[in-house]
């Protein structure tokens, strides 16, 4: 356990950075929970998450603006997700731009689609920042709140391990006793 915590303290912020690049809610939630326990700095986790998601999504938007539909022609497997994102963008417009980070499955492709749809940069950038603020706040504070649950689990780990070993031992004893009983029953 101590080696895991040492690993978290040494590499935790890099994991937050990498998790924020992709759909890394699990990494963000875990890092925020660990910050509630004092192993990471909560303001740093939030800052890294916010900055990374803004920069990555801005870059993906620019990729969509630059290459547009040619990008999706080059990667035909992305068509179903891109089509879904295009439909949502045309239907909900700015609300889609604000909330795409919360839509599972199309989170990464959405800024590319928004760029390919030729949404103006001056329109996307402020909505991107606001969206990143909302997503960072929801993700990080949710994880921070889970820190209390994680703390109780870690404190009770020895007790849980003790009862788990007793349960495994009892199950093994019952299985061997049943096997012996079946074998004895076959003989008679």
Q: Which residues, at least 6 apart from 22, have a Cβ–Cβ distance to it below 8 Å? A: 108
pTM above 0.85, yes or no: no
Proportion of the chain above pLDDT 90, given as a percent: 55
Residue 2 parent element (H or E): helix 2-21
pLDDT band at 42 (very low <50, low <70, confident <90, very high): very high
- Asked whether the beta carbons of 44 and 28 are under 8 A apart, the reply is no
Instruction: Count CA atoms closer than 13 A to 1's CA, side-chain side.
Output: 8
Do 143 and 160 sit in the same domain of this protein?
Answer: no
Do 125 and 94 sit in the same domain of this protein?
Answer: yes
Do 160 and 96 sit in the same domain of this protein?
Answer: no
pLDDT at residue number 81: 94
Do 141 and 171 sit in the same domain of this protein?
Answer: no
Do 77 and 111 sit in the same domain of this protein?
Answer: yes
Cα separation, 179 vs 172, whole angstroms:
11
**Segment 115-135, tens digit of pLDDT:** 999 999 999 999 999 999 999
Do 70 and 142 sit in the same domain of this protein?
Answer: yes
Q: Which residues, at least 6 apart from 131, have a Cβ–Cβ distance to it below 8 Å? A: 57, 97, 98, 99, 100, 101
Do 38 and 101 sit in the same domain of this protein?
Answer: yes
Residue 170 in tokens: 């009892």
Do 109 and 184 sit in the same domain of this protein?
Answer: no
What's the total number of domains in the chain?
Answer: 2
How many C-beta atoms lie closer than 10 Å to residue 142's C-beta? 14
Report which of residues 46 and 147 the model is more confident about.
46
Do 24 and 111 sit in the same domain of this protein?
Answer: yes
Distance, CA of 24 to chain centre: 3
pLDDT band at 1 (very low <50, low <70, confident <90, very high): low
Provide the residue count of the chain.
188
Do 105 and 160 sit in the same domain of this protein?
Answer: no
- Domain boundaries, position 120: 2-147
pLDDT at residue number 153: 74
Coil/strand/helix, residue 107:
coil
**Segment 44-103, tens digit of pLDDT:** 999 999 999 999 999 999 999 999 889 999 999 999 999 999 999 999 999 999 999 999
Do 74 and 96 sit in the same domain of this protein?
Answer: yes
Mean pLDDT of the chain: 89
**Segment 163-181, tens digit of pLDDT:** 777 888 888 888 888 888 8
Secondary structure string (H, E, C) spanning 29-84: HHHHHHHHCCCCCHHHHHHHHHHHHHHHHHHHHHHHHHHHHHHHHHCHHHHHHHHH
């Amino acid at each position: 356990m101590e080696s895991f915590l040492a690993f978290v303290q040494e590499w935790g912020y890099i994991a937050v950075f990498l998790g924020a690049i992709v759909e890394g809610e699990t990494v963000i939630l875990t890092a925020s929970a660990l910050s509630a326990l004092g192993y990471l700095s909560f303001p740093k986790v939030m800052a890294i998450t916010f900055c990374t998601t803004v920069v990555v999504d801005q870059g993906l938007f620019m990729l969509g603006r630059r290459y547009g539909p040619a990008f999706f022609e080059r990667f035909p497997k992305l068509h179903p997700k891109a089509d879904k994102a295009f439909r949502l963008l045309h239907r909900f417009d700015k609300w889609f731009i604000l909330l795409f980070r919360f839509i599972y499955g199309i989170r990464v492709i959405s800024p590319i689609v928004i760029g390919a749809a030729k949404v103006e940069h001056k329109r996307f950038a402020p909505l991107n920042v606001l969206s990143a603020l909302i997503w960072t706040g929801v993700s990080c504070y949710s994880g921070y709140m889970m820190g209390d649950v994680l703390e109780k689990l870690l404190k009770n780990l020895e007790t849980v391990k003790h009862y788990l070993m007793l349960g495994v031992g009892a199950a093994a004893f019952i299985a061997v006793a049943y096997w012996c009983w079946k074998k004895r029953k076959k003989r008679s």
